[in-house]
């Protein structure tokens, strides 16, 4: 991969400032109500202070809900409740404000950004600012072929890095990361199964919209076959993403790593963002310190990935719709933690 050395991330990414976190903990000791009374909100406030390098913590006001979009060739096997090539409709509904992510982002005051990496449609049917990073129309069928060429994988990864820089440069306080994909959970299950060394059945979930038993068996078989293709390239994370990831997942991985370099905190949504985060952790072990797990979706692969990264979900409401929904539901908790840490008075 010309000019792209993932090993650099391990050096470039530092942990959120531990000294600032200690200062935030000391300040919390002096506030009302007493420490522990706010439960996990205390921990969130201290984490934000360390991420921001600021005591007291600053308000979380400039938020971007970022959704990477793509179609996956494996969807033609009937592994998803959505139709093959259906990501275009997901993108269109988001842009028109007709899905859960759009509604929640609007209510939370978050900027909604959709990035088409591999949607299987004519790019003229979508706005140019959505399609400008597109790598290809649809990713390859990962059970029998690579999702991307080496050149496409590098282009997708660099696109994710560039978007992270754009968000950091624009003053974004926090990013909510989600996906708009059809077949993406199959790719995610494959990545997690490969990195955790588990069998296909252990990481095969029911997907965002839910699938029946026959579709689950087809999905399990697809992940099994994709795992055979993934295992020989486990030592090279970019090759792994090219083999069984896809353009949207590759871009999200690049985004997560560069966001950690730029000290931008991120809330992860479901199994797709968890899979990208797990790949990113393999590249730079300190990177997960910049992320929160927004919710537990009930997907077994997501649970395995979060456990491997020691990320404890903020919410567990059984939300499986994807599209950044679970992470957006967690956003008010993070904003509340920042407000309380900043504004609660000290005890007399």
Catalytic residue numbers, as ranges: 323
- 10 Cα distance to chain centroid: 19
Q: How many CB atoms lie within 10 A of CB 311?
A: 20
Provide DSSP, 230-293: HGGGTT-HHHHHHHHT-HHHHHHHHHHHHHHHTT--EEE-SHHHHHHHHHHHHH-TTGGGGEEE
Are β-strands 63-71 and 111-118 bridged in parallel, bridged antiparallel, or unpaired? parallel
Q: How many CB atoms lie within 10 A of CB 40?
A: 12
DSSP 170: T
Checking phi first, is residue 97 left (phi over 0); if not, alpha (psi -120 to 50) or beta? left
Residue 292 is encoded by which pair of tokens?
């929160």
Distance, first Cα to last Cα, the chain: 60
């Amino acid at each position: 991969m010309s000019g792209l050395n993932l090993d650099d991330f391990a050096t470039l990414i530092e942990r959120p400032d531990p000294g600032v976190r200690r200062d935030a903990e000391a300040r919390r000791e002096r506030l009302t109500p007493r420490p522990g009374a706010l439960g996990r909100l205390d921990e969130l406030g201290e984490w934000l202070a360390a991420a921001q390098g600021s005591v007291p913590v600053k308000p979380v006001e400039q938020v971007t809900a970022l959704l990477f979009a793509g179609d996956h060739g494996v969807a033609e096997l009937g592994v998803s409740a959505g139709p093959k090539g259906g990501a275009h409709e997901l993108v269109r509904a988001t842009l028109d404000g007709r899905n859960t992510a759009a509604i929640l982002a609007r209510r939370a005051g978050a900027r909604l950004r959709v990035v088409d990496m591999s949607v299987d449609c004519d790019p003229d049917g979508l706005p140019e600012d959505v399609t400008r990073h597109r790598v290809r129309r649809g990713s390859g069928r990962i059970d029998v072929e690579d999702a991307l060429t080496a050149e496409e994988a590098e282009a997708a990864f660099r696109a994710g890095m560039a978007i992270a820089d754009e968000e950091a440069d624009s003053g974004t306080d926090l990013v909510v990361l989600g996906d708009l994909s059809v077949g993406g959970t199959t790719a995610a299950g494959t990545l997690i199964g490969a990195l955790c060394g588990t069998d296909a059945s252990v990481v095969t979930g029911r997907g965002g919209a839910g699938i029946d038993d026959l579709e689950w068996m087809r999905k399990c078989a697809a992940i099994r076959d994709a795992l055979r293709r993934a295992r020989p390239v486990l030592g090279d994370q970019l090759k792994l993403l090219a083999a069984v990831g896809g353009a949207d997942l590759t871009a999200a991985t690049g985004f997560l790593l560069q966001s950690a370099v730029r000290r931008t905190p991120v809330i992860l949504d479901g199994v797709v963002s968890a899979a990208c985060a797990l790949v990113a952790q393999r590249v730079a072990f300190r990177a997960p310190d910049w992320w929160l797990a927004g919710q537990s979706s009930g997907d077994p692969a997501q649970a395995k990935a979060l456990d491997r990264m020691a990320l404890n979900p903020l919410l567990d409401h059984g939300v499986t719709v994807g599209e950044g929904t679970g992470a957006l539901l967690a956003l008010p908790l993070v904003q509340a933690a920042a407000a309380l840490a900043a504004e609660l008075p000290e005890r007399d």
